[in-house]
Chains A and B, each alone.
Chain A
């Protein structure tokens, strides 16, 4: 099956700094990528939809200026958490939708962010 990678897998940063997370589709071109956030023992919450070459669409309640999403190519989307605070600590997962007409989404392994 198709593979989606995320980097880094784990990051610890100080409060006030910015952190960039990369999501790559390794063996297919992803027309659309999605970013999710998961709090401990909770389900995944969709944050935003990222389309190559256009602005991301954010879900209600998600601050677009805090969570910057860039989808520069058909294989790469990035999520930057700006001016991170401890409450931004979470598990962030990306997914990529292939263009094969199957509409299956392939999920990355996730990035655990801890803000001190």
Chain B
């Protein structure tokens, strides 16, 4: 059974700092891995999708990497801003095309 773990559970950083969020999964037989952002009381915003054959994806200040063999992914946020404050969710699509979510990392960027 796929399990997805995100570390840290919460993170508070000053504005401008570069940061890394970690995601690990137990079953490497995946189709893809996706990073989402969720603001309080809101739905999901897709940030980056990495297919199982890819190593990384970039969008603006965000860079996500995938090491399928070791069951790890990282989300790198450059030059963090207060507007980046949100919960970041890692989600893995595996067998049956089911997507399993991690518990999330709550990020707070201080102005």
Q: A: which residues have CB within 8 A of B?
A: 1, 32, 34, 36, 42-46, 49, 57, 93, 95, 97, 102-110, 112
Contacts and interface: CB of A to CB of B under 8 A. Distances in A.
Give chain B's interface residue range (CB within 8 Å of chain A).
20 to 34
Q: Is the interface of A mostly helix, strand, loop or mixed?
A: strand
A36 B43 CA distance: 12
Contacts of B34: 104-105
Given A105-B93, A110-B42, 10 more contacts: A34-B99, A43-B103, A43-B104, A44-B101, A93-B44, A105-B34, A105-B97, A105-B99, A110-B43, A112-B41
A46 to B, nearest CB: 6
Nearest to A107: B44
A44 B89 contact: yes
Interface of B: 31-32, 34, 36, 41-44, 46, 49, 51, 89, 91, 93, 96-104
22 contacts: A1-B46, A32-B97, A43-B89, A43-B102, A44-B89, A46-B99, A46-B101, A49-B97, A57-B96, A103-B51, A103-B93, A103-B97, A104-B32, A104-B34, A105-B93, A106-B46, A107-B43, A107-B44, A107-B46, A109-B42, A110-B42, A112-B41
A107 B42 CA distance: 12
B78 to A, nearest CB: 23
Nearest to B100: A46
B4 to A, nearest CB: 9
Contacts of A32: 97
B66 to A, nearest CB: 14
A44 B4 CA distance: 12
Contacts of B36: 107
A42 B98 contact: no
A87 to B, nearest CB: 20
B99 A95 contact: yes
Contacts of A46: 98-101
